Amino acid sequence: MPFIPHTEKDTREMLEIIGASEIDDLFDEIPTELLIGELHEVPEALNEMEISRLMRARAALDGTPLCFIGAGAYEHHIPTAVWDIATRGEFYSSYTPYQAEASQGTLQTIYEYQTMMTQLTALDVSNASLYDGASALAEASLMAVRSNRRVRTGRILLAPGVNPVYEQVAAAIAGAQGLTFERLPQEAASGNVDFDRLPAHREPVAVVIQQPSFPGTLEDVDRLTDWAHSQGALVIGIVNPISLALLQAPGHWGGQGVEIACGEGQPLGVPLSSGGPYFGFMTCKQKHVRQMPGRIVGRTTDLDGNPGFTLTLQAREQHIRRSRATSNICTNQGLMVTAATIYMSLLGFEGLVRVARSSHANTTALIEGLTAIKGVRRLYDGPYFHEVALRLDRPVAPLLTALADSDILGGFDLTSYAGTDALLVCATETKTSADIETFVAAFAGLMSSGARQGGENGKN
Amino acid sequence: MTDLIFEISRSGRRAFAQAPLDTASLAIPESMLRTDKPRLPEASELQTVRHFTRLSQMNFSIDTQFYPLGSCTMKYNPRACNALAMLPGFAGRHPLGPVSHGQGFLRCMYELQEMLMDITGMKGVSLTPMAGAQGEFAGVAMIKAYHEARGDHERVEIICPDAAHGTNPATATMCGCVVKEVPTGADGDIDFAALQAAVGPQTAGIMLTNPSTLGVFERRIKEVARLVHDAGGLLYYDGANLNAILGKVRPGDMDFDVIHMNLHKTFSTPHGGGGPGSGAVGVNDRLLPFMPIPIVGKRETDDGTVYDWLDEKELPQSIGRLSGFMGNSGVLLRAYVYIRMLGRDGMARVSQYATLNANYLAVRLRDAGFELAYPGRRASHEFIVTLKKEARSANLTAMDVAKALLDKNYHAPTTYFPLLVPECLLIEPTETESKETLDNFVAAMIEIATAAREEGVEFKEAPYTMPVRRLDDVKAARQLDLVYRPG
For the stretch B264-286, pLDDT in tens is: 999 999 999 999 999 999 999 99
User: Is A87 in the same domain as A231?
Assistant: yes
Q: Are strands B203-208 and B178-182 parallel, antiparallel or unpaired?
A: unpaired
Is B107 among the domain residues? yes
Q: CA nearest A270 in B: which residue?
A: B91
User: Is B200 in the same domain as B312?
Assistant: yes
pLDDT in tens, B242-254: 999 999 999 999 9
* Partners of residue B48 in chain A, C-beta under 8 Å: 81, 342, 345-346
What pLDDT, on the 0 to 100 scale, is given for residue A320?
76
User: Is A285 in the same domain as A426?
Assistant: no
What pLDDT, on the 0 to 100 scale, is given for residue A330?
81
pLDDT in tens, A146-202: 999 999 999 999 999 999 999 999 999 999 899 999 999 999 999 999 999 999 989
Boundary residue ending a domain (B291, B322, B341): B341
Burial of A414-443, coded b for 16+ CB within 10 Å and e otherwise, reads bbebbeebbbbbbbbbbbeeebbebbbebb
Instruction: Tell me how far CA of residue B433 lies from CA of B59, B309, B401, in angstroms.
Output: 19, 39, 21
Is B205 among the domain residues? yes
Work out how many domains chain B is built from and give that number.
2
Helices B132-149 and B167-174: angle between axes, nearest 10 degrees = 40
Is A53 among the domain residues? yes
What pLDDT, on the 0 to 100 scale, is given for residue A342?
98
Is A459 among the domain residues? no
- Work out the minimum CA distance from A427 to partner chain B, whole angstroms: 13
pTM above threshold 0.90: yes
What pLDDT, on the 0 to 100 scale, is given for residue A455?
42
* Residue of A273, A292, A403 to mutate, testing the B interface (most B Cβ within 10 Å of its Cβ): A273
**Is residue B21 predicted with pLDDT exceeding 90?**
no
User: Is A306 in the same domain as A397?
Assistant: no
* Partners of residue A246 in chain B, C-beta under 8 Å: 26, 28, 33-34
Alpha-carbon dihedral sign for residues A52, A58, A64, A69: negative
Q: What angle do CA B115, B119, B108 make, to 5 degrees?
A: 15
- Here the ipTM equals 0.97
CATH of residue A88: 3.40.640.10
Q: How far apart are CA A330 and CA A351, in angstroms?
A: 33
User: Is A265 in the same domain as A279?
Assistant: yes
* Partners of residue B468 in chain A, C-beta under 8 Å: 100-101, 104, 302, 306, 308
What 3-state class would DSSP assign to B44?
coil
Is B413 among the domain residues? no
Q: How far apart are CA B39 and CA B41, in angstroms?
A: 7
What pLDDT, on the 0 to 100 scale, is given for residue A38?
85
User: Is B147 in the same domain as B249?
Assistant: yes
User: Is B171 in the same domain as B283?
Assistant: yes
User: Is B253 in the same domain as B312?
Assistant: yes
Q: CA nearest A430 in B: which residue?
A: B20
* Residue of B58, B249, B383 to mutate, testing the A interface (most A Cβ within 10 Å of its Cβ): B58
* Partners of residue B98 in chain A, C-beta under 8 Å: 400-401, 404, 409, 458
Helices B329-367 and B103-120: angle between axes, nearest 10 degrees = 30
- A442 phi-psi bin (left φ>0, alpha ψ -120 to 50, beta other): alpha
User: Is B34 in the same domain as B131?
Assistant: no
Is A13 among the domain residues? yes
What pLDDT, on the 0 to 100 scale, is given for residue A450?
66
Is B434 among the domain residues? no
Closest CA to A62 of B81, B329, B129, B324: B329
User: Is B233 in the same domain as B296?
Assistant: yes
User: Is A238 in the same domain as A110?
Assistant: yes
Is B14 among the domain residues? yes
Q: How far apart are CA B33 and CA B29, in angstroms?
A: 7
Q: Give one DSSP letter per residue of B363-376, joined into a string.
A: HHHHHTTPEESSTT
- Work out the minimum CA distance from A424 to partner chain B, whole angstroms: 12
User: Is A278 in the same domain as A377?
Assistant: no
Q: How far is CA B90 from the centre of its chain?
A: 24
Closest CA to A208 of A166, A154, A158: A158
A278 with B324: Cβ contact below 8 A: yes
Is A347 among the domain residues? no
Specify the DSSP element, H or E, that contains B388: helix B388-393
What 3-state class would DSSP assign to A308?
strand
User: Is B42 in the same domain as B120?
Assistant: no
User: Is A274 in the same domain as A190?
Assistant: yes
Is B66 among the domain residues? no
A404 with B98: Cβ contact below 8 A: yes
CB A161 within 8 A of CB A192: yes
Is A178 among the domain residues? yes
Is A1 among the domain residues? no
Could you give the percent of chain B with pLDDT greater than 90?
A: 95
Ranges of H-type helices in A284-432:
318-321, 334-371, 396-405, 415-418
- Work out the minimum CA distance from B370 to partner chain A, whole angstroms: 15
Is B47 among the domain residues? yes
User: Is B239 in the same domain as B276?
Assistant: yes
Specify the DSSP element, H or E, that contains B298: strand B295-301
User: Is A144 in the same domain as A223?
Assistant: yes
* Residue of A24, A40, A55, A400 to mutate, testing the B interface (most B Cβ within 10 Å of its Cβ): A55
Measure CB to CB from residue B18 to each of A296, A346, A404 and give the nearest one: A346
* Residue of B428, B434, B435, B482 to mutate, testing the A interface (most A Cβ within 10 Å of its Cβ): B482
What pLDDT, on the 0 to 100 scale, is given for residue B384?
98
Measure CB to CB from residue B171 to each of A328, A336, A350 and give the nearest one: A328
User: Is A262 in the same domain as A139?
Assistant: yes
A42 with B472: Cβ contact below 8 A: no
Q: Which residues contact B402 (CB under 8 A, 6 or more apart)?
A: A99, B412, B413, B415, B425
A162 or B25: which carries more pLDDT confidence? Answer: A162
Boundary residue ending a domain (A297, A317, A342): A342
* Partners of residue A58 in chain B, C-beta under 8 Å: 89-90, 103-105, 107-108
Boundary residue ending a domain (B318, B341, B364): B341
Work out how many domains chain A is built from and give that number.
3
Measure CB to CB from residue A404 to each of B36, B101, B342 and give the nearest one: B101
Is A413 among the domain residues? yes
User: Is A54 in the same domain as A72?
Assistant: no
**Is residue B238 predicted with pLDDT exceeding 70?**
yes
Ranges of H-type helices in A63-124:
80-86, 89-92, 104-121
Measure CB to CB from residue B170 to each of A328, A357, A404 and give the nearest one: A328
Is B218 among the domain residues? yes
User: Is B31 in the same domain as B178?
Assistant: no
User: Is A366 in the same domain as A246?
Assistant: no
What pLDDT, on the 0 to 100 scale, is given for residue A49?
98
- Work out the minimum CA distance from A356 to partner chain B, whole angstroms: 10
Is A460 among the domain residues? no
pLDDT in tens, B178-214: 999 999 999 999 999 999 999 999 999 999 999 999 9
Q: How far apart are CA B43 and CA B52, in angstroms?
A: 12
Q: How far apart are CA A133 and CA A411, in angstroms?
A: 20
* Partners of residue A18 in chain B, C-beta under 8 Å: 356, 359-360, 363
Boundary residue ending a domain (B290, B317, B341): B341
Closest CA to B468 of B397, B407, B402, B416: B407
Instruction: Tell me how far CA of residue A55 lies from CA of B280, B334, B341, in angstroms.
Output: 21, 11, 12
User: Is A90 in the same domain as A21?
Assistant: no
pLDDT band at residue B117 under the 50/70/90 scheme: very high
Domain that holds residue B37: 5-56
Closest CA to A105 of B455, B268, B466, B41: B466
Domain that holds residue A28: 8-61
pLDDT tens-place values along chain A, 460 residues long: 999 999 999 999 999 999 999 999 999 999 999 999 889 999 999 999 999 999 999 999 999 999 999 999 999 999 999 999 999 999 999 999 999 999 999 999 999 999 999 999 999 999 999 999 999 999 999 999 999 999 999 999 999 999 999 999 999 999 989 999 999 999 999 999 999 999 998 999 999 999 999 999 999 999 999 999 999 999 999 999 999 999 999 999 999 999 999 999 999 999 999 999 999 999 999 999 999 999 999 999 999 999 999 999 988 777 777 777 778 888 889 999 999 999 999 999 999 999 999 999 999 999 999 999 999 999 999 999 999 999 999 999 999 999 999 999 999 999 999 999 999 999 999 999 999 999 999 999 999 986 444 444 433 3
- Work out the minimum CA distance from B36 to partner chain A, whole angstroms: 8
Altogether, the residues listed in chain A come to a count of 460
CATH of residue B316: 3.40.640.10
Instruction: Tell me how far CA of residue A342 lies from CA of A8, A112, A324, B43, in angstroms.
Output: 45, 10, 35, 11
CATH of residue A403: 3.90.1150.10
User: Is B102 in the same domain as B40?
Assistant: no
- Work out the minimum CA distance from B387 to partner chain A, whole angstroms: 19
Average of per-residue pLDDT across B327-349: 97
- Work out the minimum CA distance from B164 to partner chain A, whole angstroms: 10
Instruction: Tell me how far CA of residue B157 lies from CA of B160, B180, B226, in angstroms.
Output: 10, 7, 17
